[in-house]
Amino acid sequence: MQNRKLKIGIVVGEVSGDTLGAQLIRRFREQGIDAEFGGIGGPQMIAEGFDSYYPMDVLSVMGIVEVLKDLKKLFAVRDGLVQRWSEQPVDVFIGIDAPDFNLRLSNSLKQKQLPIKTVQYVSPSVWAWRQGRVHGIKQSVDLVLCLLPFEKAFYERYQVAAAFVGHPLANQLPLDNPMQQARQQLNLDPQKQYIALLPGSRRGEVERLAPLVFSAAQQLHTKYPQIEFLVPAINEARKQQITQILMNYPADFTHQVKVMDNTGTESKIGRLVMGASNIIALASGTATLEAMLLHRPMVTFYKLNWLTYRIARFLVKIPYYSLPNIIAGKKVIEELIQQDATPERLAAELERLMDIEIAQIQVMQHISMHKRLLSDNTEDPVQAITQLLV
């Protein structure tokens, strides 16, 4: 393995996966492993020399009904990758998150009986819903790299090879996250009160959730006109979309809303905006973990296509949707899901978090969970991957 250049295929479908992929590429290099990387990646991975055969946005589809509309395109991308790696096999394929696509791709590679090891980096939420998927994972994947400690224990019950590699953000974000430092980076007033509004990073999410969060913010604005609202836009397309939606609101409100751009390739604008804010309202997803590790009081919300939600309700096996509540095993942050996700409820929850004592209780719980994720029983992902190739 050390006498030749390793060929590593990676597929990611969103910003958080792009971040993990870029970190993984850097870790290979830091350990002196000669490797070339290709597949589907975002700007952070491309900046590390990654060869992306398709734009990352091709996989940015969420929800059962929504995916059906793009099924033909997704199949074509999957088949294109299988054909490419059949003709020029990589040593290992690493699917980072995007489990619906990546696990099917791993399965297709296995069915071709190619000499390719398969890794899923970021476990799908099999412990939460559709637990029967674990049997398909066992057939398709040689190794699962888990970000959370309870995930490895789950896989061990089913004899699936798994390594707890820790959550990179838990190490990356310090236990002390000063608000003023983030404000300085964004050129924000150190004295003002800011509320971060994060309606998601995908086009469909923003279309569905931005009106909810902006309407809630408008209600707060009528009572607290001095508060300013910060909205991160991960790229120019999202910025234009957000700006277009804001045109439906009165100018006295939108004057208090700042749409913040990404600078550079690292897609850190969401983190900076959350770090600079007193309170966060955000779509349920991986960003809730980031907000928790920044120790900011938050409320989360989500709405799916009604049919997707009806199907999902029968499949979910856990009482909570957001990672802070799942990690804590109790309700730490408020979750407004589907019919509960109204502008009135969201505005009321944000107003409740303006109470310093209530906010501080939540912050202390975030710090406690951050310390749990800093456990030193973690394995090195590069070592776990390269051991497959020995």
CATH of the domain at 135: 3.40.50.2000
> Does any domain span residue 172?
no
- Look-up: residue for tokens 């790696």? 85
> Does any domain span residue 174?
no
Q: Are residues 300 and 369 in the same domain?
A: yes
Supply the pTM of this predicted model: 0.71
> Residue 314's pLDDT is what?
57
Q: Are residues 139 and 283 in the same domain?
A: no
Who's near 380: CB < 8 A, 6+ residues apart?
27, 165
Q: Are residues 91 and 77 in the same domain?
A: yes
Whether 262 and 235 have beta carbons less than 8 Å apart is answered as: yes
Question: Pick from 81, 141, 134: which is nearest to 117 by CA?
Answer: 141
Which residue segment(s) compose the domain that 361 sits in?
179-373
Q: Is 378 helix (H, G, I), strand (E, B) or coil?
A: coil
Whether 331 and 325 have beta carbons less than 8 Å apart is answered as: yes
Q: Are residues 304 and 380 in the same domain?
A: no
Strands, DSSP E only, in the chain? 6-11, 35-41, 51-55, 92-96, 117-121, 143-146, 162-164, 194-198, 228-233, 257-261, 279-283, 298-302, 334-337
> Does any domain span residue 310?
yes
> Residue 64's pLDDT is what?
46
Q: Are residues 261 and 362 in the same domain?
A: yes
Specify the DSSP element, H or E, that contains 288: helix 287-293
Angle ∠(18,22,24) on CA atoms, nearest 5: 115
Q: Are residues 122 and 260 in the same domain?
A: no
Q: Are residues 223 and 369 in the same domain?
A: yes
> Does any domain span residue 1?
no
Q: Are residues 127 and 60 in the same domain?
A: yes
Whether 61 and 31 have beta carbons less than 8 Å apart is answered as: no
The per-residue DSSP string of 40-105 comes to EE-HHHHHTT-EEEEEGGGG---SHHHHHHTHHHHHHHHHHHHHHHHHS--SEEEEES-HHHHHHH
- How far apart (Å, rounded) are the C-alpha atoms in residues 299 and 277? 13
Q: Are residues 382 and 361 in the same domain?
A: no
Q: Are residues 261 and 350 in the same domain?
A: yes
> Does any domain span residue 38?
yes
Q: Is 35 helix (H, G, I), strand (E, B) or coil?
A: strand
> Does any domain span residue 171?
no
> Residue 61's pLDDT is what?
60
**CA Rg value for the chain:** 21
- How far apart (Å, rounded) are the C-alpha atoms in residues 286 and 169? 11
> Residue 129's pLDDT is what?
66
Question: Pick from 64, 90, 63, 95: which is nearest to 78 by CA?
Answer: 95
Chain CA centroid to CA 244, Å: 25
> Does any domain span residue 287?
yes
> Does any domain span residue 173?
no
> Residue 376's pLDDT is what?
58
Residue 264 gets which letter from DSSP?
S
Q: Are residues 307 and 233 in the same domain?
A: yes
Could you give the number of structural domains in the chain? 2
Q: Are residues 14 and 143 in the same domain?
A: yes
**Which residues of the chain fall short of a pLDDT of 70?**
1-3, 60-69, 128-130, 263-267, 305-318, 375-376
The token pair that represents 19 in the structure block: 């971040």
Who's near 372: CB < 8 A, 6+ residues apart?
327
